[in-house]
Structure 1
Amino acid sequence: MGTAAGGSLLACRNVSKHFGALAAVNNLSFELQAGEVLGIGGPNGAGKTTLFESISGLNPATGGEILFEGRDITQLPPEAVCHAGIARTYQLNAGFDSMSVRDNVRVAAYFGRDNRVIPGFRFGRAVDDQVDEALSLVGLSDKHAELFGRLPVVDRKLLMLASALATNPKLLLMDEPVGGLNPKEIDQIMNVVRNIVGRGITIILIEHVMRFLVQLSSRVLIMHHGEKIYEGSPQGLVHDRNVVDVYLGEGASQRLGALLEGQGAG
């Protein structure tokens, strides 16, 4: 897996995103190494999704720079960012309701890897192989013929994930992958994410379900009012007074501490 000479897969340097006088992301810097899982948390309105919009090219940054494998991608359009090796999922379950699971992923595999100025009439065997691999990885192979619009919420999330994986990303951005799911479904997604990490794909995930965030992340970044207020280990998160005061609260902090302590003992 390629990285820049300095070792960072992704580097955000003093990144800002302004909407008029509002700084949704304010002078934010961090680096991401290949193979890491970076978890991003923070209150609603902290700027987390706006950061994803800037990295993925949907709403480019108004200040600073974003480097991917040493290449400046700050102002690239979203399709170029995707073709460079960055894919993402969304809070809302995006897909084509009237198309099958398989055809949804086919579209992603076909258009997500290369420029298709003049699309062909057939997807081709290589695309179908990519689709098979992505569906298998998320556990949807047996549902390949079902319509997206008829899937339960957890399977819609898994299909979005399969579509992202079919683009062959080096970096995967996941925006609230378990929002609205029950504990059993959260564990299901957690196992899928661990399998993805095992394939060597680097991940940044945004999530409010903190047990999901801390159990998967090798490093955690907490945002508030567009700025970074914490960056470090999941274990250190619960002892940071600022994070407890503005985000977690005492009760959640104590529960997370117990969870992490039990995880370490295991």
Structure 2
Amino acid sequence: MTAARPALLTCSGVSKHFGALAAVNNLSFELAEGEVLGIGGPNGAGKTTLFDVISGLNSATGGTVTFAGRDITELPPEAVCHLGIARTFQLNACFDSLSVRDNVRVAAYFGRENRRFSGLSVGAEVEAYASEALATVGLTGKDDRTAGALPVLDRKLLMLAGALATRPRLLLLDEPVGGLSPKETDQIMTVVRTIAASGVTIILIEHVMRFLVQLSTRVMIMHHGERIYEGSPRGLMLDRTVIDVYLGEGASQRLGKLMGERA
């Protein structure tokens, strides 16, 4: 499926093999600027591996990844980040011994350019980016807390703030609400909606399907490294292959009810 608007990101025949295992197998899709693409699928479907390829953490073994008209297939992760792609991870990655603000300062300082000779101070511009990112995720007032002492929700928000501080055009969110309560999930949902409304394009991976379908403008379901569905969130609940492979009848009915209440 091709996005209606000009593509910000294009994956063309992307594959990633680990020996004989095809974690991602000849996958092609386009993402228009301003979209929110939700990716779901069983464990081992290749979702996080796809993120690793897009973000440069693992090079593709086949195909090409193009961002804003530039081939980024072989670029290292720091170069991909500097071009405007940021990501979060399933595990809450941060510098545990640093404060909340210092974590975000690091991202803002190094996130858009190489720093051969780091200065003694980060500067007003970096402080402004850090403050804006903290405010967006709701961590203002927790600046001086040690990151390692934060509860799970705040650690997830901190990782998201660090990604935002790099000023991305494309944000990759890998299971942003995994392990959270329904109330905490709703809080993250509000933050992601705010980010999307600001113009940042988003791809999110999530097993919590109500989060996925309520936020996404388009959904892709993967299985064994391949796409088995791509289309509207509403159509997801009617697709027989998705129901049999991933959702099951019960989840499909619950999501159908949720989408009906949303209409």
Work out whether the TM-score is over 0.5: yes
1:201 alignment counterpart: 200
Letter in 1 for 2:35: E
Tell me the CA shift for residue 60 of structure 1: 1.1
Residue 75 (structure 1) aligned with residue 70 (structure 2): no
CA RMSD of aligned residues (A): 0.6
2:103 alignment counterpart: 104
2:142 alignment counterpart: 143
> Where has structure 1 moved over 3 Å in runs of 4 or more?
none
Hey, what's the Cα distance between the residues in 1 that align with 2:156 and 2:194? 16
CA offsets 1:122-167 (integer angstroms, 9 cap, x no match): 1111100000000000000111110111100000000000000000
Hey, what's the Cα distance between the residues in 2 that align with 1:185 and 1:218? 22
1:24 alignment counterpart: 23
- TM-score, normalised to structure 1, is 0.97
Hey, what's the Cα distance between the residues in 1 that align with 2:230 and 2:244? 16
1:216 alignment counterpart: 215
SS in 1 for 2:50: helix
1:122 alignment counterpart: 121
Letter in 1 for 2:37: L
Q: Which ranges in structure 1 are unaligned for 5 or more consecutive residues?
A: 1-5
Hey, what's the Cα distance between the residues in 2 that align with 1:57 and 1:120? 27
Residue 158 (structure 1) aligned with residue 157 (structure 2): yes
Tell me the CA shift for residue 38 of structure 1: 0.1
* Identical positions, percent: 73
SS in 2 for 1:143: coil
Tell me the CA shift for residue 246 of structure 1: 0.4
Residue 47 (structure 1) aligned with residue 46 (structure 2): yes
CA offsets 1:18-66 (integer angstroms, 9 cap, x no match): 0011100000000000000000000000000000000000001110000
Tell me the CA shift for residue 198 of structure 1: 1.0
Tell me the CA shift for residue 7 of structure 1: 1.1
SS in 1 for 2:167: coil
Hey, what's the Cα distance between the residues in 2 that align with 1:74 and 1:100? 34
Hey, what's the Cα distance between the residues in 2 that align with 1:60 and 1:221? 22
How many residues matched?
Answer: 259
2:250 alignment counterpart: 251
SS in 2 for 1:55: helix
1:171 alignment counterpart: 170
Structure 1 segment 176-195 matched on structure 2, within 5 A: 176-195=175-194
Hey, what's the Cα distance between the residues in 2 that align with 1:97 and 1:78? 22
1:3 alignment counterpart: none
Hey, what's the Cα distance between the residues in 2 that align with 1:125 and 1:86? 23
Hey, what's the Cα distance between the residues in 1 that align with 2:174 and 2:233? 19
Hey, what's the Cα distance between the residues in 2 that align with 1:98 and 1:84? 29
Tell me the CA shift for residue 118 of structure 1: 1.5
